[in-house]
Structure 1
Amino acid sequence: MKKLFIAEKPSVAAEFAKALKIPTGRKNGYLEGNDIIVTWCVGHLITMSYPEKYDEKFKRWSLDTLPFLPKEFKYEIIDGVKNQFAIVSGLLNREDVDTIYICTDSGREGEYIYRLVDMMANVQGKTRKRVWIDSQTEDEILRGIRDAKDWSYYNNLSNAAFLRAKEDYLMGINFSRILTLKYSRNVANFLKLDRAVLSVGRVMTCVVGMVVNREREIRNFVKTPFFKVLGKFENQGMFIDGEWKVNEKSKYFNSTMLYKDNGFREKIYAEELIEHIESYANENDREVIILANEKKKEIKNPPLLFNLAEIQNECSKRFKISPDETLKIIQEMYEKKLVTYPRTDARVLSSAVAKEIDKNIRGLCKFSILSNFANDILEKGTYKNISKTKYVNDSQITDHYAIIPTGFGNMNSLNKLSLAVYELICRRFLSIFYPPAQYQKFTIRFGIGDEIFVANTKICIERGFLDILNPIKNESDEEESSDSQSPEYIKMVSALRKGSKLRLDSLSIKEGETVPPKRYTSGSMILAMENAGQLIEDEELRSQIKGSGIGTSATRADILKKLFSIKYLALNKKTQIITPTLFGEIVYEVVNCSISQLLNPELTASWEKGLTMVSNGDITSEEYMTKLERFVGIRCLNVKQLNNQYSLNALFEKVSKEYKGMKG
């Protein structure tokens, strides 16, 4: 009897055949040896059928046939891959095959791809085992085969995969049809189009909402000017810069002229303060007294490892490339055995991987740019206690651990951009085996009469992991500006004590104004989607966010790509900044007036969390499906009863003014 291995792609199938070291002969759509057969899908082979396949009456869009909620869903083989399906189906049902090893990508989507094939091929009486791997190295493939579990172990994951597809299908079909039927004439007439189809989806509509809401925050933002007073203080021929701050004794305490506690709303008051301080200083030999010099050590640990969202955000900032392009680059590296599986939400390692992590480090000894760091880690043995740190946590891993390098072998085949992304992953990985950076922070308070100035100085005293990450720093990274300060300056600042006297050199006014929120970039949008609509800048805080976001690591880039292609959103390729289009804002208005729940990131994320609960066995598929059908059914009924088509035109007019009369 033979064992059949089925992979998601031909290239992956070839890696399995190579790892098994069994001579195979190439056939049409598969490889066969003495006791094994290796075959492959070509991505999805099966898709859900459109409503007209249930009944011809559904071909014509009509309010009378909505909501469309079939009790049993129909599936069909995708045109263009029917030959490969026939080959795979024949192999799955071959009499001399007794065991099937499922080797599709280790995740919800990969599970779905195989389960559909198995269902459509009507496979009976075979043992099925699920191979779950994190990289395509030979060792990992063989481990995955050796540890393969019965496919029933993944039934909950399979249930969630089917539900995700049904959810996207039901919301997409019902909401796109009902909103198009109800409002397309308004939209088409306003935009001077022949016709307009309104595409609506669980995740994509929510993303449009996030972008439109941010754009409106920016439009409605009113700038507030402010004026700060800065002081330059001299000591031993060196200068310390401080900023005026109001205090209880100040003549401006509780003044309505203040902007916060360190500036003024109008320049005249800043000038008045300077005049007041200069007058006092000139009468007192320009003497300044140190009221306090608070010293504090600050430890900065290496950042957590990359998951897909984090690396997509980083590449968007550094290289100005889209999340979709980043995923393609890392997927290629995965298939070349250079990195682990990219579609992961985790930013930590598993305890099992941590035990053998020296293998990954040794591989980087051949990477000339980083070989010194890799050798240093191995010599000092700093990797040995990694399992006791925050970088290893089994409870924070669902399908896969973080993205880390697995080898060096195929690096020469990478282009310049891919090599830069690979270096980014390697540096982040190696940095966790280095000590934290250490800073000495000084908060110095200067007194001039009843007024106070504050100077904050931060000095890096131990660079630690920064030696690895610093060479690829970009403008948005924190600058250790104090690094360049001389030892004499550091000694001078350290020696300042309460009561020490300095000299006021000069005063100046710094003008500024409040700034509106930033537009999303393709990278920051991926992060915001991961965190259910919250763009959390602090990476430590992000790591603590529990629950599911909007979409999954495997789908977010494709969702953005689709929104650009249907022209709901626009992407500036040079800056990667995302803005809405007029069409996108009009769709937003339509949804907001009909099914506004689709614009709510938290609600959208709760659907994803529900799928996770199905995966974990916390709720049943039936419970989830009941909730889904009720949601779709009630929303369709509500839209049917609305009579707000004409009131939308005023909203369209208002929105169009922001686009300077350019419609479309």
Structure 2
Amino acid sequence: MTTVMTSMRKETMTAMINLVVAEKPSVAQSIGKVLGCTGRQDGYLEGNGYLVSWCVGHLIELAEPETYDSKYEKWKKEDLPIIPDIFKYQVAASTKKQFQILKDLMNRDDVTVVTNACDAGREGELIFRLVYDKAGCKKPMKRLWISSMEDEAIRNGFDNLADGKDYDRLYEAALCRERADWIVGINATRFFTCSYGQTLNVGRVMTPTLALTVEREAQIRAFKPEDFYQVQLEGNDLIFTGERIPDKDEAEDLAEKCRTESKAVVTKADINEKLENAPALFDLTSLQREANKRYGFTAQQTLDYAQSLYEKKLLTYPRTDSRFLTDDMETTASSILGIIGNKLSIKITDELNFKKILNSKKVTDHHAIIPTETLRSTDVEALPEGEKKILQLAATRLAESVSAPCKYKETVAEVSCLGKTYTLKGKYIADPGWRSVANTKDKDSDEDSRVIILDFKAGDTVAIDKTSVKAGKTTPPKSYTEDTLLSAMEKAGCDEIPDEAERKGLGTPATRAGVIEKLVRIGFLERRGDKKTKYLVPTHKGETLITVIPESIQSASMTADWEQKLLEIEKGSYDADAFMIEITQMIRKLLDTYRIVPDAEVLMHPVYEPLGKCPHCGSNVVEKSKGFFCENKDCKFALWKDNRFFDSLSKKLTKQIAVQLLTDGKAKLKKCRSVKTGKSYDTTVVLSTTDNGQPQFTLDFTKGGK
């Protein structure tokens, strides 16, 4: 009898299978390797008591409005608002096969537990739970929550699996975010599109972000530069500068009087020693900002590179909003520091303090972004260039963050002449500390790093050897770059949100890049500038939307407040139903109270600046989103930006080239490259037209052409 029971127990244990669901196939393969799943099947791995399968992004998505009622197929204002009593979900058309595989696996008799191994964050929770619910699964649920894809981290994670119910509130917050975005997007987009006769996409986070850029461009356009002048006094081999004076004659008169006076009285002469603390570790937003400043990477590029490094086990989880490590990670950080010093040739300073970067209370879902110990055995040179740069940034920041402060001496001296004050400021780095890691310079320090020696004290007299007038102009604010827009999104509405609020701003670190990319993709923002520094500038369509959108939709403070409430829903301190009621009330109020902007049709049709004359009919040629077109509707002349002829030269038809072609009938091109042979050459493109006005191009290699 005992033998039979033992045999039955073994059979029962053998039959118990844990189904692990990852977010991507690559992550599933890493998990499967650690768990010993060597058997490859269609859509999953198996072995050692585990099945490991995967989602492919969002397998399940909110149903379209017409699913609720066929009348919603046509956009009509009288059918709004569309607010479902019960939200419907559908399987994405492109992922039906993988969903069916997951559904079959979840319902297998031998599967006794299902583990959510999707990304450890709000969206990862949503992706898994929607599949779990849609498949009708009722089996016990576990949660894998890790911050690194290293083998040891995966093993530790499976040794300490959490109960899936512990993350119910996170799922609730994810549902609120998704449904709120649907309600705002569907209703507001249909309402404004119907009101103004063209597609105007509206989003809960997207529109306030666009509003930030529109406001900035308005400030730039309204700015009127003003001349100013500053009197400078030279004495003791030092230059003292006075306050700004708007009138040139007044400044020159003052300079002459000071020269005649020939002396000034010292009112301040201080040299202070100061410390500049090392920067904190990277969270996702600060990493994206730094990568944009240094390399011109977009926020999405940085996220993609960091995500790839995470999946290669070389970087910890990137979608984090924390800039600290947990209190128990000092040994880990020390070990990684040694690896990056050898592997990436990063300077490690002598004076290290790991306590500065350890604070469990400031770590929410995940700790800060740092390299992993897998780096030790990795061929870094084999990595793609973008990934290498992001890895180097994260490694350098770790070395900087534990280093000693930068010590510098700051000189401030003031002299008075004829009742006016003139100032001298200087900064000298005495001990670079953390700045020596990457050999970064302080932009405010003297270029020659010399000490400004003051051989006088307050009350002394300084002889004035020379006076001069320095002219200058006030400058407007700059258009947003990816770096500065991310910063503005992070800080948006902060003045109106309590200091104790944990998350502020528009969106989350994980979603901000996607918001920016969508604004560019749908034509509300465009990137302008050189290869490294690109500015995010609203298009006419984007400015038009913000002009007609009411404050309730474009308010950064309101949207930032919603983000804080979503975080409170995660913690159980705010009611999900109350949040959704707030969203629906705002939409209902919008529909009930909004009034069409007078003469809006003028706003909707942009006035295009002529670039030149059409070579066929003589009308103006203007730039639009897809090319350069003749304004004469009967003329077929058009220079498309997506141009096969220029593609064959490995060139893009830019605005500058288009203007040359329209002005001179030709344009010189350097370093063209043959697609067939790969050889480079210089040439001149000559423009002509066919009888019906279509452009045609020829190449001229003669000296005259060049």
Could you say whether these structures have the same fold, taking a TM-score greater than 0.5 normalized by the shorter chain as the test?
yes
Aligned to 1:6: 21
Deviation at 1:651, TM superposition (A): 4.9
Aligned to 2:275: 299
Aligned to 1:526: 486
Equivalent residues in 2 for 1:38-187 (5 A)?
38-124=52-138, 126-184=139-197
Moved more, 500-509 or 301-310: 500-509
Identity level (%): 32
Mapped to 2, the partners of 1:219 and 1:203 lie a distance apart of 25
2:248 aligned partner, one-letter code? K
Q: Deviations over 1:512-546 (max 9, x none)?
A: 122111111122111211112679xxxxxxx9985
Paired residue secondary structure (2:290) = helix
Deviation at 1:355, TM superposition (A): 5.0
Aligned to 2:370: 404
Deviation at 1:659, TM superposition (A): 9.9
Aligned to 2:508: 552
Mapped to 1, the partners of 2:458 and 2:301 lie a distance apart of 56
Equivalent residues in 2 for 1:349-428 (5 A)?
349-370=325-346, 372-373=347-348, 382-383=352-353, 386-387=354-355, 389=356, 391-407=357-373, 408=375, 409-410=377-378, 411-428=380-397
Aligned to 1:326: 302
The one of 525, 547, 556 equivalent to 1:601 is 556
Paired residue secondary structure (2:338) = helix
Paired residue secondary structure (1:116) = helix
Deviation at 1:505, TM superposition (A): 2.8
Mapped to 2, the partners of 1:412 and 1:663 lie a distance apart of 42
Deviation at 1:114, TM superposition (A): 0.3
Aligned to 1:568: 524
Report the RMSD for the aligned CA atoms in angstroms. Answer: 2.4
Deviation at 1:645, TM superposition (A): 5.5
Larger RCO (CA within 8 A; separation ≥ 6): 1
Aligned to 2:573: 618
Q: Deviations over 1:43-86 (max 9, x none)?
A: 11111100111121221222232101111011111112111111
Aligned to 1:460: 429
Paired residue secondary structure (2:233) = strand
The answer (yes or no) to whether the contact 2:403–2:434 under 8 Å persists in 1 is: yes
Closer, same or farther: CA 442–628 of 1 in aligned 2, 3 Å: same
Deviation at 1:352, TM superposition (A): 2.9
Aligned to 1:255: none
Aligned to 1:197: 199
Aligned to 1:315: 291
Equivalent residues in 2 for 1:405-554 (5 A)?
405-407=371-373, 408=375, 409-410=377-378, 411-448=380-417, 450-471=419-440, 478-481=443-446, 484-485=449-450, 490=452, 492-493=453-454, 495-500=455-460, 502-532=462-492, 546-554=502-510
Q: Deviations over 1:419-462 (max 9, x none)?
A: 22221111111112111011111212234464442211211111
2:43 aligned partner, one-letter code? G
Mapped to 1, the partners of 2:274 and 2:518 lie a distance apart of 44
Closer, same or farther: CA 47–513 of 1 in aligned 2, 3 Å: same
2:104 aligned partner, one-letter code? G
Q: Deviations over 1:395-425 (max 9, x none)?
A: 3332212111113243233223332222111
Paired residue secondary structure (2:458) = coil
The answer (yes or no) to whether the contact 1:457–1:482 under 8 Å persists in 2 is: no
Q: Deviations over 1:243-283 (max 9, x none)?
A: 12xxxxxxxxxxxxxxxxx12111111111111111111xx
Paired residue secondary structure (1:572) = strand
The answer (yes or no) to whether the contact 1:656–1:662 under 8 Å persists in 2 is: no
2:566 aligned partner, one-letter code? L
Q: Deviations over 1:593-637 (max 9, x none)?
A: xx3311111111111111111111111211112212212222222
Closer, same or farther: CA 518–534 of 1 in aligned 2, 3 Å: farther
Aligned to 1:577: 535
Aligned to 2:257: 276
1:633 equivalent to 2:588? Answer: yes
The answer (yes or no) to whether the contact 2:502–2:564 under 8 Å persists in 1 is: no
Paired residue secondary structure (2:45) = strand
Mapped to 2, the partners of 1:209 and 1:596 lie a distance apart of 10
More helix by share: 1
The answer (yes or no) to whether the contact 2:196–2:600 under 8 Å persists in 1 is: no
Mapped to 2, the partners of 1:198 and 1:290 lie a distance apart of 63
Gaps in structure 2 of 5+ consecutive residues? 1-15, 612-621, 626-706
The answer (yes or no) to whether the contact 1:531–1:545 under 8 Å persists in 2 is: no
Mapped to 1, the partners of 2:310 and 2:360 lie a distance apart of 22
Mapped to 2, the partners of 1:329 and 1:659 lie a distance apart of 41
Mapped to 2, the partners of 1:28 and 1:506 lie a distance apart of 84
Deviation at 1:498, TM superposition (A): 3.4
Aligned to 1:230: 232
The one of 248, 255, 269 equivalent to 1:267 is 248
1:336 aligned partner, one-letter code? K
Paired residue secondary structure (2:439) = helix
Mapped to 1, the partners of 2:501 and 2:294 lie a distance apart of 25
Mapped to 1, the partners of 2:331 and 2:574 lie a distance apart of 34
Equivalent residues in 2 for 1:637-648 (5 A)?
637-639=592-594, 642=595, 644=596, 646-648=598-600
Mapped to 2, the partners of 1:226 and 1:512 lie a distance apart of 5
Mapped to 2, the partners of 1:146 and 1:217 lie a distance apart of 56
The answer (yes or no) to whether the contact 2:38–2:45 under 8 Å persists in 1 is: yes
Q: Deviations over 1:479-537 (max 9, x none)?
A: 4326632xxx55x43x53335554423221111122111111122111211112679xx
Using the size of structure 1 for normalisation, the TM-score is 0.84
2:522 aligned partner, one-letter code? I
Deviation at 1:553, TM superposition (A): 1.3
Mapped to 1, the partners of 2:145 and 2:395 lie a distance apart of 24
Mapped to 2, the partners of 1:96 and 1:429 lie a distance apart of 46
1:466 aligned partner, one-letter code? R
1:240 aligned partner, one-letter code? L
